[in-house]
Amino acid sequence: MGFADILNYSGIAVFAATGALSASRKQMDIIGFLFLAVVTAVGGGTFRDLILGNLPVFWVVNPIYIMVCAGVAVLLFFTAHLLESRYVWLLWLDAIGLAAYCVIGAQKGLETSGSPTVAIVTGVLTAAFGGILRDLLTGEPSVLLRPEIYVTAALAGAGAYTALVQLDLSYALSAALGALVAFAIRGGALKFGWRLTGYRQRPGRHPDDIPSMRR
């Protein structure tokens, strides 16, 4: 089992856990736990494989990933109530998953296209997709819309990995450093509320409050 497998299984397991925690917050039954664990965990990688044309997708080729999700979901069904704050756990596990997936996504993108630009985009999309899907499905406030930086961490991790590979660093070292960068940034954002300052910010009005849209 190489470093890529370790990242893959870590990403799967922690994203599955965030899906299960989200199911727990919505008081779903055990099948809801399984469903959300699977969808959140394999969502990013499925999307990545579709875009790159690696079909059938990874978990159809190797169903052990599904078993890992199922195991995590069952475990959390019986233990989630023991956690003091499931949402805080969800955010931190999501940060680990983000770190693992931005590197894997970038690596597969680079492999398929040879383009660093594509690598960064597939890295970000792979990392963000599972969490966005989970939040859409359960009606949680989307991680994407939370004030602290989220996509930025994925972008930095995917960018660091891609740059290091271009500098001929070994795959494992580039991947480890890329994941570390992403986790440090997302973790700092969670712990200290880091955010990028906007340029000139003002909130959008609701369409009904825009005079020229009334008739």
Site for its own copies in 95-134 (CB under 8 A): 109, 112-113, 115, 117-118, 121-122, 124-125, 128, 132
Q: How far is the CB of 65 from its own copies (least distance, A)?
A: 10
Coil/strand/helix, residue 141: coil
Question: Contact, 27 vs 77, CB < 8 A?
Answer: no
According to the binding rule CB under 8 A, does residue 29 interact with its own copies?
yes
Rounded to a whole number of angstroms, the minimum distance from the CB of residue 101 to its own copies is 15
Cis status of the peptide bond prior to 56, with omega within 30 of 0: yes
Q: Does residue 175 sit in helix, strand or coil?
A: helix
Q: Is residue 71 near its own copies by the rule CB under 8 A? A: no
C-alpha–C-alpha distance, residues 124 and 214, integer Å: 39
Does residue 168 belong to the site contacting its own copies (CB under 8 A)?
A: no
Work out whether 139 is an interface residue with its own copies (CB under 8 A): yes
Nearer residue to its own copies within complex by CB, 172 or 213: 213
Alpha-carbon distances, residue 6 vs 23, 41, 97, 155, 172 (angstroms): 26, 15, 12, 21, 11
Among 2, 172, 173, 210, binds its own copies (CB under 8 A): 210
> Phi, psi (5° rounding) for residue 214?
-80, 150
Query: Residue 70: enclosing H or E segment and its boundaries?
Result: helix 64-79
Answer whether 26's CB lies under 8 Å from 32's CB. yes
**Which is closer to its own copies, CB of 3 or CB of 87?**
87
Report the chain's C-alpha Rg in angstroms.
18
Nearer residue to its own copies within complex by CB, 96 or 132: 132
Give the nearer residue to its own copies in terms of CB position, either 6 or 137: 137
Instruction: State yes or no: residue 162 binds its own copies (CB under 8 A).
Output: no
Nearest to its own copies of 3, 140 (CB atom): 140
Helix axes 86-113, 3-25, angle to 10 degrees: 140
Which of 7-15, 82-90, 167-175, 176-184 is the region at the interface with its own copies (rule: CB under 8 A)? 82-90
Q: How many CB atoms lie within 10 A of CB 31?
A: 11
Token pair recorded at residue 136: 């859409």
Of 5, 167, 168, 198, the one binding its own copies (CB under 8 A) is 198
Per CB under 8 A, the segment of 3-11, 12-20, 144-152, 171-179 that binds its own copies is 144-152
- By rule CB under 8 A, what string of x and - marks binding of each residue 177-196 to its own copies? ----------------x-xx
> Would you say 105 and 158 are in contact if contact means Cβ atoms under 8 Å apart?
yes
